[in-house]
Structure 1
Protein backbone atom coordinates (compact mmCIF):
# COMPACT_ATOMS: atom_id res chain seq x y z
CA UNK A 1 0.00 0.00 0.00
CA UNK A 2 1.36 3.40 -0.95
CA UNK A 3 2.44 5.53 1.99
CA UNK A 4 0.59 8.54 0.60
CA UNK A 5 -2.74 6.71 1.02
CA UNK A 6 -4.92 7.46 3.98
CA UNK A 7 -5.22 11.21 3.49
CA UNK A 8 -8.37 13.17 2.76
CA UNK A 9 -7.03 13.80 -0.76
CA UNK A 10 -6.04 10.14 -1.28
CA UNK A 11 -8.16 7.94 1.01
CA UNK A 12 -7.86 4.20 1.34
CA UNK A 13 -10.47 2.61 -0.93
CA UNK A 14 -11.75 -0.49 0.78
CA UNK A 15 -14.44 -3.15 0.58
CA UNK A 16 -16.41 -4.67 3.44
CA UNK A 17 -15.31 -8.20 4.41
CA UNK A 18 -18.03 -9.90 2.27
CA UNK A 19 -16.79 -7.69 -0.63
CA UNK A 20 -20.34 -6.35 -1.15
CA UNK A 21 -19.86 -2.63 -0.41
CA UNK A 22 -17.11 -0.11 -1.09
CA UNK A 23 -16.11 2.63 1.33
CA UNK A 24 -13.26 5.04 1.98
CA UNK A 25 -11.16 5.83 5.03
CA UNK A 26 -8.53 8.39 5.85
CA UNK A 27 -6.71 9.71 8.86
CA UNK A 28 -7.57 13.15 10.19
CA UNK A 29 -7.53 15.12 13.42
CA UNK A 30 -10.55 16.20 15.44
CA UNK A 31 -10.38 18.01 18.77
CA UNK A 32 -6.62 17.34 18.93
CA UNK A 33 -7.10 13.58 18.53
CA UNK A 34 -6.04 11.41 15.58
CA UNK A 35 -9.11 9.78 14.07
CA UNK A 36 -10.12 7.59 11.15
CA UNK A 37 -12.85 9.07 8.98
CA UNK A 38 -14.91 6.31 7.36
CA UNK A 39 -17.28 7.30 4.53
CA UNK A 40 -19.88 4.74 3.50
CA UNK A 41 -22.15 6.23 0.85
CA UNK A 42 -23.38 9.44 2.49
CA UNK A 43 -22.77 8.19 6.04
CA UNK A 44 -19.61 9.35 7.83
CA UNK A 45 -18.29 7.48 10.86
CA UNK A 46 -15.33 8.31 13.10
CA UNK A 47 -13.05 5.87 14.90
CA UNK A 48 -10.19 6.54 17.29
CA UNK A 49 -7.00 6.05 15.20
CA UNK A 50 -5.33 4.13 18.03
CA UNK A 51 -7.78 1.26 17.39
CA UNK A 52 -5.45 -0.05 14.65
CA UNK A 53 -2.49 -0.67 16.97
CA UNK A 54 -4.69 -1.73 19.88
CA UNK A 55 -6.64 -4.26 17.78
CA UNK A 56 -3.45 -5.63 16.23
CA UNK A 57 -1.90 -6.13 19.69
CA UNK A 58 -5.05 -7.85 21.00
CA UNK A 59 -5.20 -10.17 17.96
CA UNK A 60 -1.51 -11.03 18.41
CA UNK A 61 -2.20 -12.01 22.03
CA UNK A 62 -5.34 -13.91 20.95
CA UNK A 63 -3.16 -15.86 18.52
CA UNK A 64 -5.97 -17.31 16.37
CA UNK A 65 -8.90 -16.37 14.19
CA UNK A 66 -11.53 -14.14 15.79
CA UNK A 67 -15.05 -13.61 14.47
CA UNK A 68 -15.78 -10.02 13.34
CA UNK A 69 -19.37 -9.86 14.64
CA UNK A 70 -20.20 -6.46 13.18
CA UNK A 71 -23.28 -4.76 14.66
CA UNK A 72 -24.84 -1.29 14.74
CA UNK A 73 -24.37 0.70 17.94
CA UNK A 74 -27.98 0.09 19.02
CA UNK A 75 -27.60 -3.72 18.79
CA UNK A 76 -25.64 -5.87 21.22
CA UNK A 77 -22.38 -7.30 19.93
CA UNK A 78 -21.86 -11.06 20.00
CA UNK A 79 -19.52 -12.00 22.84
CA UNK A 80 -15.92 -12.85 21.89
CA UNK A 81 -15.98 -10.93 18.59
CA UNK A 82 -13.90 -8.03 17.27
CA UNK A 83 -17.06 -5.87 17.49
CA UNK A 84 -17.56 -6.73 21.18
CA UNK A 85 -13.91 -5.94 21.92
CA UNK A 86 -14.21 -2.61 20.06
CA UNK A 87 -16.86 -1.42 22.52
CA UNK A 88 -15.73 -3.22 25.69
CA UNK A 89 -14.76 -1.37 28.86
CA UNK A 90 -11.84 -3.83 29.00
CA UNK A 91 -10.14 -2.60 25.78
CA UNK A 92 -7.26 -0.06 25.99
CA UNK A 93 -9.64 2.82 25.15
CA UNK A 94 -11.94 1.80 28.01
CA UNK A 95 -14.97 1.57 25.73
CA UNK A 96 -16.08 2.51 22.24
CA UNK A 97 -13.48 3.14 19.53
CA UNK A 98 -16.34 4.58 17.48
CA UNK A 99 -16.53 8.31 18.21
CA UNK A 100 -19.75 9.54 16.56
CA UNK A 101 -22.78 9.03 18.83
CA UNK A 102 -25.36 6.83 17.13
CA UNK A 103 -22.73 5.56 14.67
CA UNK A 104 -20.17 4.04 17.03
CA UNK A 105 -20.83 0.46 15.98
CA UNK A 106 -19.78 -1.45 12.85
CA UNK A 107 -16.19 -1.57 14.15
CA UNK A 108 -16.01 -5.21 13.03
CA UNK A 109 -17.12 -4.25 9.53
CA UNK A 110 -14.91 -1.27 8.68
CA UNK A 111 -11.66 -1.59 10.67
CA UNK A 112 -10.62 -5.15 9.66
CA UNK A 113 -10.35 -4.41 5.88
CA UNK A 114 -8.14 -1.39 6.65
CA UNK A 115 -5.90 -3.58 8.78
CA UNK A 116 -5.73 -6.10 5.95
CA UNK A 117 -4.80 -3.33 3.48
CA UNK A 118 -2.07 -2.16 5.87
CA UNK A 119 -0.64 -5.71 6.03
CA UNK A 120 -1.47 -6.13 9.73
CA UNK A 121 -4.17 -8.80 9.48
CA UNK A 122 -5.74 -11.49 7.37
CA UNK A 123 -9.52 -11.19 6.89
CA UNK A 124 -11.95 -13.76 5.51
CA UNK A 125 -14.28 -12.72 2.69
CA UNK A 126 -17.32 -15.02 2.97
CA UNK A 127 -20.94 -13.80 2.65
CA UNK A 128 -21.23 -13.81 6.50
CA UNK A 129 -19.52 -14.81 9.75
CA UNK A 130 -16.08 -13.61 8.66
CA UNK A 131 -13.06 -13.77 10.92
CA UNK A 132 -9.67 -12.09 11.14
CA UNK A 133 -6.26 -12.79 12.63
CA UNK A 134 -3.11 -10.77 13.11
CA UNK A 135 -0.18 -11.12 10.71
Structure 2
Protein backbone atom coordinates (compact mmCIF):
# COMPACT_ATOMS: atom_id res chain seq x y z
CA UNK A 1 0.00 0.00 0.00
CA UNK A 2 2.85 2.35 0.86
CA UNK A 3 4.49 4.79 -1.45
CA UNK A 4 6.44 6.31 1.43
CA UNK A 5 10.09 5.82 2.20
CA UNK A 6 9.85 5.95 5.98
CA UNK A 7 10.75 9.59 6.58
CA UNK A 8 8.67 12.11 8.49
CA UNK A 9 8.01 13.94 5.21
CA UNK A 10 7.15 10.74 3.34
CA UNK A 11 6.00 8.11 5.88
CA UNK A 12 5.08 4.51 5.15
CA UNK A 13 1.29 4.38 4.76
CA UNK A 14 0.10 1.05 6.12
CA UNK A 15 -3.04 -0.88 7.01
CA UNK A 16 -3.60 -3.05 10.06
CA UNK A 17 -3.45 -6.82 9.35
CA UNK A 18 -7.26 -7.16 8.92
CA UNK A 19 -7.01 -4.19 6.46
CA UNK A 20 -9.57 -2.24 8.50
CA UNK A 21 -7.54 0.81 9.62
CA UNK A 22 -4.88 2.95 8.01
CA UNK A 23 -1.90 4.38 9.86
CA UNK A 24 1.52 5.86 9.16
CA UNK A 25 5.03 5.07 10.36
CA UNK A 26 8.41 6.67 9.91
CA UNK A 27 11.91 6.31 11.31
CA UNK A 28 13.12 9.04 13.65
CA UNK A 29 15.55 9.58 16.48
CA UNK A 30 14.73 10.38 20.08
CA UNK A 31 17.26 10.76 22.90
CA UNK A 32 19.97 9.35 20.63
CA UNK A 33 17.96 6.19 19.90
CA UNK A 34 16.48 5.17 16.54
CA UNK A 35 12.72 4.79 16.87
CA UNK A 36 9.66 4.10 14.75
CA UNK A 37 6.95 6.73 15.09
CA UNK A 38 3.50 5.23 14.51
CA UNK A 39 0.54 7.58 14.01
CA UNK A 40 -2.93 6.08 14.26
CA UNK A 41 -5.55 8.81 14.00
CA UNK A 42 -4.49 11.31 16.69
CA UNK A 43 -2.59 8.70 18.72
CA UNK A 44 1.20 8.59 18.39
CA UNK A 45 3.11 5.49 19.47
CA UNK A 46 6.88 4.92 19.54
CA UNK A 47 8.69 1.61 19.07
CA UNK A 48 12.39 0.82 19.34
CA UNK A 49 13.65 0.62 15.71
CA UNK A 50 15.73 -2.47 16.46
CA UNK A 51 12.49 -4.42 16.92
CA UNK A 52 12.41 -4.99 13.13
CA UNK A 53 15.72 -6.84 13.06
CA UNK A 54 15.07 -8.61 16.37
CA UNK A 55 11.57 -9.77 15.40
CA UNK A 56 12.81 -10.96 12.00
CA UNK A 57 15.59 -13.00 13.68
CA UNK A 58 13.14 -14.50 16.19
CA UNK A 59 10.64 -15.44 13.45
CA UNK A 60 13.42 -17.04 11.37
CA UNK A 61 14.42 -19.09 14.39
CA UNK A 62 10.75 -19.94 15.10
CA UNK A 63 10.53 -21.15 11.50
CA UNK A 64 6.75 -21.19 11.16
CA UNK A 65 3.67 -18.99 11.33
CA UNK A 66 3.19 -17.17 14.63
CA UNK A 67 -0.06 -15.60 15.84
CA UNK A 68 0.09 -11.79 16.17
CA UNK A 69 -2.01 -11.53 19.34
CA UNK A 70 -2.21 -7.73 19.45
CA UNK A 71 -3.24 -6.27 22.84
CA UNK A 72 -3.20 -2.90 24.60
CA UNK A 73 -0.48 -2.39 27.20
CA UNK A 74 -3.00 -2.72 30.03
CA UNK A 75 -4.13 -6.18 28.87
CA UNK A 76 -2.09 -9.37 29.11
CA UNK A 77 -0.74 -10.73 25.84
CA UNK A 78 -1.61 -14.28 24.80
CA UNK A 79 1.36 -16.62 25.33
CA UNK A 80 3.32 -17.59 22.24
CA UNK A 81 2.27 -14.57 20.16
CA UNK A 82 4.26 -11.78 18.51
CA UNK A 83 2.69 -9.38 21.04
CA UNK A 84 3.86 -11.48 24.01
CA UNK A 85 7.38 -11.61 22.57
CA UNK A 86 7.35 -7.82 22.01
CA UNK A 87 7.02 -7.24 25.76
CA UNK A 88 8.82 -10.29 27.16
CA UNK A 89 11.80 -10.22 29.50
CA UNK A 90 13.19 -12.97 27.21
CA UNK A 91 13.49 -10.77 24.08
CA UNK A 92 16.77 -8.99 23.15
CA UNK A 93 15.79 -5.72 24.91
CA UNK A 94 14.51 -7.61 28.00
CA UNK A 95 11.06 -6.03 27.87
CA UNK A 96 8.90 -3.65 25.90
CA UNK A 97 9.76 -2.52 22.37
CA UNK A 98 6.98 0.04 22.79
CA UNK A 99 8.51 3.19 24.30
CA UNK A 100 5.59 5.41 25.37
CA UNK A 101 4.25 4.52 28.80
CA UNK A 102 0.57 3.65 28.57
CA UNK A 103 0.84 3.12 24.80
CA UNK A 104 3.49 0.39 24.66
CA UNK A 105 1.20 -2.38 23.45
CA UNK A 106 -0.28 -3.14 20.03
CA UNK A 107 3.15 -4.34 18.86
CA UNK A 108 1.43 -7.27 17.13
CA UNK A 109 -0.92 -4.89 15.30
CA UNK A 110 1.37 -2.20 13.95
CA UNK A 111 4.85 -3.72 13.50
CA UNK A 112 3.95 -6.76 11.30
CA UNK A 113 2.54 -4.70 8.36
CA UNK A 114 5.73 -2.60 8.35
CA UNK A 115 7.80 -5.79 8.23
CA UNK A 116 5.65 -6.95 5.33
CA UNK A 117 6.19 -3.60 3.58
CA UNK A 118 9.96 -3.92 4.06
CA UNK A 119 9.95 -7.47 2.64
CA UNK A 120 10.94 -9.09 5.94
CA UNK A 121 7.75 -11.06 6.62
CA UNK A 122 4.52 -12.47 5.29
CA UNK A 123 1.40 -11.38 7.18
CA UNK A 124 -2.11 -12.81 6.97
CA UNK A 125 -5.03 -10.44 6.38
CA UNK A 126 -8.03 -12.25 7.88
CA UNK A 127 -10.71 -10.42 9.92
CA UNK A 128 -8.99 -11.74 13.11
CA UNK A 129 -6.36 -14.12 14.51
CA UNK A 130 -3.77 -13.21 11.90
CA UNK A 131 -0.30 -14.72 11.84
CA UNK A 132 3.09 -13.82 10.39
CA UNK A 133 6.30 -15.57 9.43
CA UNK A 134 9.76 -14.49 8.32
CA UNK A 135 10.52 -14.20 4.62
So what's the TM-score if we normalise by structure 2?
0.98
Provide runs of 4+ in structure 1 moved above 6 Å: 1-4
Match of 1:49 in 2: 49
Alpha-carbon distance in structure 2 between the residues aligned to 1:120 and 1:32: 25
Q: Extract unaligned runs of 5+ from structure 1.
A: none
Q: CA deviation at 1:3?
A: 9.7
Q: Extract unaligned runs of 5+ from structure 2.
A: none
Alpha-carbon distance in structure 2 between the residues aligned to 1:52 and 1:103: 18
How large is the RMSD of aligned CA atoms in angstroms?
1.4
Matches within 5 A, 1:1-135: 5-135=5-135
* Residues 32-90 of structure 1 deviation map (CA, whole Å, 9 limit, x = unaligned): 00000000000000000000000000000000000000000000000000000000000
Instruction: Tell me the matched-pair count.
Output: 135
2:25 match: secondary structure: strand
Alpha-carbon distance in structure 1 between the residues aligned to 2:85 and 2:30: 23
Alpha-carbon distance in structure 2 between the residues aligned to 1:46 and 1:94: 17
So what's the TM-score if we normalise by structure 1?
0.98
